[in-house]
Amino acid sequence: MLSITGLMFLAVQANAQDTPEQRVPDMTRYLVVAAGRLQEAQSQEDDEARLTEYQAALDLVYEAIEDDPGNPAVYYHLGWAHRG
């Protein structure tokens, strides 16, 4: 027969299995270059040059997502690139 403590432990253990693993954002080489491109895009005066830089950054972010889809930092940079 299970004790109350045993039942509580099983409930906590079951809840922990349902929770997705938390990851620390990791700045990969793709993201470092993409961040540089995004900063460069923000400083561009010319619309065409700005668009070119944002597109280059977006392509790098997509590569970062393919490389490590579980990295939360890639989705931050994806939003930054889409916002631009």
Residue 8 inside a domain? The answer is no
Please check whether residue 54 is in contact with residue 40, taking contact to mean a CB–CB distance below 8 angstroms.
no
Residue 74 inside a domain? The answer is yes
Q: Does residue 3 carry a pLDDT above 60?
A: no
Residue 33 inside a domain? The answer is yes
* pTM score of the predicted model: 0.71
Residue 66 inside a domain? The answer is yes
Number of folded domains that form the chain: 1
The pLDDT tens digits for 40-51 are 999 999 999 999
Q: Does residue 11 carry a pLDDT above 80?
A: no
Domain housing 42: 24-83
Residue 13 inside a domain? The answer is no
Q: Give the whole-angstrom CA distance, residue 64 versus residue 38.
A: 15
Residue 6 inside a domain? The answer is no
Residue 56 inside a domain? The answer is yes
Residue 18 inside a domain? The answer is no
Q: Which amino acid is at 41?
A: A
The pLDDT tens digits for 25-67 are 999 999 999 999 999 999 999 999 999 999 999 999 999 999 9
- Which pLDDT belongs to residue 8? 47
